[in-house]
Amino acid sequence: MAILTTTQAAERLGVSARRVQQLVKDGRLPAEQFGGSLMIREEDLKLVENRKVGRPPKIKAETANKTSKKRGK
């Protein structure tokens, strides 16, 4: 069983260390606090490796078009 830092986990997932920290904070990626560092089990990366990337849209395109028409655009 390999234990990874947030930086190492980020490299394996292709994201930033801050994104890994956010996944942990959101409860999507289990981690243990060890001193001032988060430690992540390598096998737990499978829980988030097939996640959607990027931010979700704030509003759907259809809704945006209707809003634009109401504003006269």
Q: Domain map of the chain by residue range? A: 3-70
**pTM surpassing 0.75?**
no
User: Greater confidence, 1 or 3?
Assistant: 3
Determine contact, residues 61/67, Cβ cutoff 8 Å: no
42 φ/ψ angles, rounded to the nearest 5 degrees: -55, -40
Determine contact, residues 13/45, Cβ cutoff 8 Å: yes
Region 44-49 average pLDDT: 91
CA–CA dist 70, 66 (Å, integer): 6
3-70: CATH number: 1.10.1660.10
* pLDDT, position 32: 96
In this predicted structure, the answer to whether residue 57 has a pLDDT above a threshold of 60 is: yes
Q: In the structure encoding, which two tokens stand for residue 40, read together?
A: 């992540």
